[in-house]
């Protein structure tokens, strides 16, 4: 499984030290592999860096930012392909809670694209 602290690493790259960015669009591709069913919520805890990622995207230093896209792929170890939409919706609900500052800013359109896959039982 990928490291759940991914957003913290990304935040270190995106943090601006007192300067302003003119970036208008950010696209992040993130893939977690070999995730056990039922443990995916542990990947999306605010303390794993998601709260910091949210704060960076909403920061005034990124005042030109209009759109952020997160392409998220999660590969499960064992799963039933018939439940793809169920897994996708469950993850979507988890992701919807992770960007309160972006939502409150009202200036950044946050687009989350989720792809779940796995090895059939």
Q: pLDDT, tens digit, for every residue of 18-65?
A: 788 899 999 999 998 888 888 888 888 888 888 889 999 999 999 999
- Cα 76–83–33 angle (5° rounding)? 10
User: How confident is residue 101, by pLDDT bands cut at 50, 70 and 90?
Assistant: very high
- Mean pLDDT for the chain? 85
CA-to-CA separations, 59 to 17, 30, 79, 82, in angstroms, rounded: 12, 22, 38, 40
Give, as one character, the DSSP assignment of residue 97.
Answer: T
pLDDT at 121: 60
Contact 88, 48 (CB under 8 A): no
CA-to-CA separations, 6 to 54, 72, 97, 99, 102, in angstroms, rounded: 13, 12, 17, 15, 19
- Of 45, 30, 31, 116, give the one whose Cα is nearest residue 79: 116
Distance CA(75)–CA(79), nearest Å, equals: 9
CA-to-CA separations, 18 to 15, 59, 67, in angstroms, rounded: 9, 11, 21
Kindly tell me if the per-residue pLDDT of 1 is higher than 60.
no
pLDDT at 10: 81
Q: Which of 3-7, 51-55, 89-93 has the highest mean pLDDT?
A: 51-55
pLDDT > 70: what percent of the chain? 93
Paired tokens of 21: 């960015």
pLDDT at 2: 45
Return the domain boundaries, the chain.
38-120
Q: What is the mean pLDDT of residues 105-116?
A: 92
């Amino acid at each position: 499984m990928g490291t759940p602290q991914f957003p913290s690493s990304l935040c270190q790259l995106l943090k601006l030290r007192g300067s302003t960015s003119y970036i208008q669009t950010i696209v992040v591709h993130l893939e977690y592999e070999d995730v056990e069913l039922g443990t995916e919520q542990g990947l999306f805890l605010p303390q794993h860096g998601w709260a910091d990622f949210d704060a960076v995207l909403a920061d005034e230093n990124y005042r030109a930012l209009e759109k952020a896209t997160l392409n998220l792929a999660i590969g499960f170890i064992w799963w039933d392909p018939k439940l793809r939409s169920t897994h996708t919706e469950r993850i979507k609900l988890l992701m919807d809670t992770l960007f309160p500052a972006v939502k409150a800013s009202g200036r950044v359109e946050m687009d989350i694209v989720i792809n779940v896959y796995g090895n059939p039982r």
